[in-house]
Amino acid sequence: MIEKEKINWIYKKIFTIRFFEERIKKIAKEKTVPGYLHTCIGSEAICVGVMAALNQDDWISSTYRNHGHAIAKGCELNEITSEIYGRKTGICKGRGGSMHISDFSKGMLGSFGIVAAGPAVVLGAALQEKINKSNKTCVSFFGDGAIHNGAFHEAAGLAKLWDIPMIFVCENNGYAEATATDWHLNTKELSDITKAYDMLSYIGDGNNVFKVYDISKKAINEAKQKNTPIFLEFKNYRFSGQYEGDTQLYQPQEEIDKAKQNDPIKLAKENSSKYGLNKNDLEKIINEAKEEVDKAFDFADTQPWPQPEDALEEVYVNYPVEINR
């Protein structure tokens, strides 16, 4: 049984992310913002379902496709949009951009542009929790494209060897950039790759937010109870291209049409009455989400640009000579 408050939270977040990413697609098309943009349309249920099982001070890492994780982890919408617009009041003071949306005060260790950089960093946070006998949950999000990278394997091997109860969350969205997952996998299932580490793994429907939540919650408990890492593979579909502007010619139309039947937003709507939300409740949540997203984008547009020399700040904690000599 999920409490009512959590159900409302889940619905609010899942719609917020979808509206947010649709708005990103729009501004990308209009070319009104600088920089690379990667949207997560199709991953909303994974972002929200996993985060529903976490506390705000639990640790996560994300990737360049991070908007959904950041929103679900509790980062301020105004600060996210301002960052994407490159403004001084952005979540990273305009120094990060869309690929690096991350707020340490909300438990985000970082959103990394390098594929598979996150798992080892989360391993370190989890090691710290273990050494300090603390109990924060540590989760690394990455895509199916990351599972061939050595840094992922090195982190997985050490996590198992050291009995670190971290959670690896693989969003298997069918594509690593422009390459289909079924082509790049050497194993039948993606999660089979963890067999080399004798690591517990579970496969879940990444389109159903409640299933994601349920599996994540159980996995977190099991990992802590058994003092072991757990690998979660959530299957979904990447409706977004690798980046905004991607022609997506490699994604066949019939595949997209089929995937749309399991669109996480569609499923969430269909399931709403089962979770005690009537039509009015749902509409209210949807309208609120839409309104908040619109407000955040309007806000970003009014925000000041950083001064050019702001580029010189916070490279180090302490540096006794001038950075820009």
Partner 1 sequence: MTIKTVKDAINDALVQSFEEDKNVILMGEDIAGGKGREQYQGTQDAWGGPFGVTQGLYTKFGGERVRDTTIAEAGFFGAAIGAAMTGLRPIVELMYVDFAGVCFDQMMNQAAKVRYMFGGKQKVPMVVRTVVGAGFRAGSEHSQTLYSLYTHIPGLKVVAPYDAYDAKGLLLSSIKDDDPVIFMEHKRLYMTSCEVPDDLKPIPLGKGRIRREGSDVTIIAIQRMNLFAEEAADELEKINISCEIVDPRTYSPLDEELIFQSVKKTGKVIVVDESNPKCSLASEISSLISEKCFSDLKAAVIKITAPHTPVPFSPPMEDFYIPSTKKIIDAVKKLKDV
Q: Which residues ranging from 84 to 103 are in contact with partner 1 (CB under 8 A)?
A: 90-93, 95-96, 100, 102-103
Q: Which has the closest alpha carbon to 98: 84, 79, 87?
A: 84
308 lines the binding site for partner 1 (CB under 8 A): no
Q: How far apart are CB 179 and partner 1 at their closest, in Å? A: 21
Exposed, middle or buried by CB within 10 Å (0-12, 13-18, 19+), for 147? buried
Q: Which residues ranging from 56 to 75 are in contact with partner 1 (CB under 8 A)?
A: 59, 61
Distance CA 266, CA 268 (A): 5
Q: How far apart are CB 97 and partner 1 at their closest, in Å? A: 8
What residues have CB less than 8 Å from 11, skipping those under 6 apart? 268, 272, 277, 282, 285
125 lines the binding site for partner 1 (CB under 8 A): yes
Distance CA 259, CA 114 (A): 28
Please identify which residue in 25, 74, 124, 197 interacts with partner 1, judged by CB under 8 A.
Answer: 124
Q: How far apart are CB 70 and partner 1 at their closest, in Å? A: 11
Q: Which has the closest alpha carbon to 45: 202, 169, 137, 222?
A: 169
Beta bridge partners of 60: 108, 139
Q: How far apart are CB 176 and partner 1 at their closest, in Å? A: 18
Owner of token pair 């707020």: 103
Please identify which residue in 24, 109, 176, 285 interacts with partner 1, judged by CB under 8 A.
Answer: 109
Site string for partner 1, 183-202 (x = CB under 8 A): --------------------
What is the binding site for partner 1 (CB under 8 A)?
59, 61, 90-93, 95-96, 100, 102-105, 108-114, 117, 119-129, 131-132, 150-151, 153-155, 157-158, 161-162, 313-321, 323, 325
